[in-house]
Amino acid sequence: MPRYDLASLTKVLVTAPLALAFLDLDLDRRDALGFKERREPLTVRQLLSHSAGLPPWLPYTGEPLSTQIRRGWPLGEVPLLAVAHPGRSTYSDLGYRLLAELLEAETGLAWARLGAAFSGLRPAPWPEDIDPPPPGPDLEAWGIAAGEFPFPASHPRLPHDANARAGMRGHAGFSATAAEFRDSLTRWVAAGWPRRMCVPTAESGEGGLWGLGLQAALDGPGRWGSILSRVPEGHGGVHVVEDSAAEAPGTPPPLLGRPGDPGGWWFHTGFTGPLLCVRPSDGCCVALLCHRLGPGGRLLDLDELRGRRWTLLERLLATLVE
C-alpha cells in the first residue's frame, strides 16, 4: 500500500491542532523564542496565520531562527527568500518551526511523538520507502542563503523537503497511507478542528485570507472556490482520492482577473502533491493524495500540479453532486 509524504499538510493535521490545544494564542512569545530585538509582539495567532512577518523560508542549519533573522539573508534572490511584514500573511514554514519549539517547551514532549499520538499519522523516519520527487526550489535557495553548510542528504524514508530532512520540525515530516489519511481526517473533522482553524485572521496579497492554519478558497475562474462551490451544503463526510500519477496532468482553467470572495471552503496544499479542502459549516472534507511526479518521473511545475489536482477534484466532485 503506497505511503505519501504529506509535506505541509503536517501543518494542518498536526502542528496547528496541537497549538490550539496547548498554547495561548495571544501571549507575547518574543522572549521565549529569542526575538528580544523585535519591536512587534510575536504570538501563536500570528504564527498560525503566517502573519508574524517571517520570510517564507530559511535553511535549517541548526541555529536558532532568531540568530538567522538577525544575520539577514539575500533578500529577493529567490521567492523563498522574500521579505515579509508583520500583520500581513506571507506563507512561511518558519512560523511552524517556532510553533513546534513552543509545543515542546510547553508539554515537555518531542513534537513528533506528540503529533503522532494526536493525529494517528506517521512521523519520519517512515516504515517504508516513499517515491521521491527530484529536488525542489530548496536546492537553489540553500546555496544562496547558506552555501557554507552542506545540503542535507536525501533518503527514501525521510521527508523530501530539505529542511524537514535536516530536522526542521513543525512544518513537515509526517506521512500516511490512504487508509491512515482518511482515518486521521475523520478524527480531525469530528474533533472540530476545522471550525477552530477556519477563522478569518489575516489578509495576504490579491485578496487572500488566512485563518489559524488554513487558507480561504476564493471564488473566480480557475480558483478552488469555483469548483468546490458545486458541492451542495449539508453533504458532509470525508472523501479521499488517491492518484497513481500514471497519467499526464490535465489542463486547469486559466486564472482570470482578481479573485472573488471566500465561499465557505478552506484549503491547504503540500509541496509533494496532496490537497486538503474543508467546509467547516457541515464538516465536508475532500482531499487528494498524490505524488508530485509526472509519468516520466520529473517534478511537475506549479501549473502542471494545479492541473493534476484540478482533474482529480473534478472527478471526485462528479461523484458528490450526482
Tell me the per-residue pLDDT of 73-106, one tens digit each, with 9 for 90 and over: 898 889 999 989 999 999 999 999 999 999 999 9
Joined together, the cell numbers standing for residue 153 give 542528504
Average pLDDT, the chain: 92
253 or 125: which carries more pLDDT confidence? 125
pLDDT digits (tens, 9 = 90+) for 101-152: 999 999 999 999 999 999 999 999 999 988 776 677 888 899 999 989 999 8
Confidence check: pLDDT of 41 > 90: yes
Percent of the chain with pLDDT over 70: 98
Instruction: Summarize pLDDT for 228-240 with one digit per residue, the tens.
Output: 999 988 888 999 9
Cα–Cα dist 171/213, whole Å: 11
- For residue 38, the model assigns a pLDDT of 94
| 262 touches 209 (CB < 8 A) | yes
> What values do phi and psi take at 296, rounded to 5?
-85, 0
Of 183, 185, 215, 188, the C-alpha closest to 199 is: 215
Distance CA 136, CA 238 (A): 30
User: How far apart are the C-alpha atoms of 254 and 150, rounded to whole Å?
Assistant: 39
Q: How much is the average pLDDT of 306-311?
A: 92
The predicted model gives 19-40 an average pLDDT of: 96
Nearest to 216 by CA among 282, 264, 258, 285: 264
